Amino acid sequence: MGGDLIPLEHAPLAPRCSLGVGGPARYLVEAHDEETVREALAWAHARGQALHVLGGGTNLVVADEGVDGLVLAVALRGVSVQTSGPDVELTAGAGEPWDALVQLAVERGWAGIECLSGIPGLVGATPIQNVGAYGQEVSETVMSVRALDTRDGEVRTLLPAECRFAYRDSVFKSGEPGRWVILAVRYRFRPGGAPTIRYPEVEEHLVARGIAAATLADARSSVLAIRRAKSMVLDPDDSNRRSCGSFFVNPVVSAEHADRLTALGLSPPMPRWPQSDDRVKLSAAWLIERAGFPRGYRKGSTGLSTRHALAIVAHDGARAREVLGFARRLQEAVRSRFGVALVPEPVIWS
């Protein structure tokens, strides 16, 4: 099985990752169709090789030594649309660029993902991370996920309950990591729907623009402007471009813990967002800065973005071990100062 597949050997991975660090893949194959994905799985199983799935590389840190096994670069394309009552259902291949899909939805007047504008990467990553930003999460629109089960080689369709979505998490990420290769995602949108304006920063930006009744396009342009001001939009001319975006997820703590931190009286006041389970989500960026690491802080060839304390930037000459060592320093400082554990958001291949 998989005998016709001829992977590349010792294929560089750094150029495929937004951080631009890391060693090569022992083997690599690009899959533009589902049959190649199946063949790659069979090839890896037949040779006792681990299978690693690569998307857009915008949320990945590859070790300097590279990665053993077979790296499967998912490049399945294609978008199809159908109506379902008052809604629109859109199915996109896992290799479709995410922001282009958001732009398509906004231009056609389909509400549901407008505040997820500007997020780099591919469609296949969105259910894995339960991608979210500025008051929206992709789980609000996902209807189903088509995926290859690496245990038996069968393709299955998982419904939202089976995806076990949580804050920046899913069955694909922490529930059963490595089991599923996402092939396509089906979303449901609301034609003619109003934008979701839940996030104060977006609301304030719209007010500053003099917009009282925002359209989907207004919401998208404000989100893009906010992200661009934080270097959270991929831009080849941005000195902060070599990053994974947010390196840590915003921690969620007990209300009592949040109250203790608020009582410290630090300035500016600590942002806090109450959650439905009576816990409180905190700003990881605020914690990092108050732990002694301001924006632009740099140690050697690795540092923080000059525009956002949540982004770790790899400068010229940086190595993966330096990026991960810098991340550990941030974690240790925040834990020591505030008793809060920061959890990395990127996948780490080591």
- The catalytic residues are 168, 246, 345
Instruction: Give the span between the Cα atoms of 13 and 35, in whole angstroms.
Output: 23
Q: Which residue has the tokens 């940086």?
A: 318
Instruction: Give the span between the Cα atoms of 188 and 183, in whole angstroms.
Output: 17
Q: For residue 259, give Cα distances in angstroms to 272, 277, 322.
A: 10, 16, 34
Q: Which residue has the tokens 């906010």?
A: 226
Closest CA relative to residue 158, chosen from 148, 168, 173, 169? 148
- C-beta of residue 216 within 8 angstroms of C-beta of residue 107: no
Q: Which secondary-structure segment (H or E) carries 102?
A: helix 98-107
Calculate the CA dihedral of residues 93, 98, 103, 108 and round it to 10 degrees.
Answer: 30
Q: Which residue has the tokens 């804050």?
A: 167
- Assign residue 247 a region (left: φ > 0; alpha: ψ between -120 and 50; beta: otherwise): alpha
Instruction: Give the span between the Cα atoms of 151 and 135, in whole angstroms.
Output: 35
Instruction: Note the Cα 164 to chain centre separation in Å.
Output: 17
Long-range CB pairs of 41-49 (<8 Å, 24+ gap) are 41/2, 41/72, 41/148, 41/150, 41/153, 41/181, 42/1, 42/2, 42/5, 42/153, 43/1, 43/2, 43/3, 43/5, 43/7, 43/70, 44/2, 44/69, 44/70, 45/1, 45/2, 46/1, 46/2
Token pair for residue 183? 């092939």
- C-beta of residue 255 within 8 angstroms of C-beta of residue 279: yes
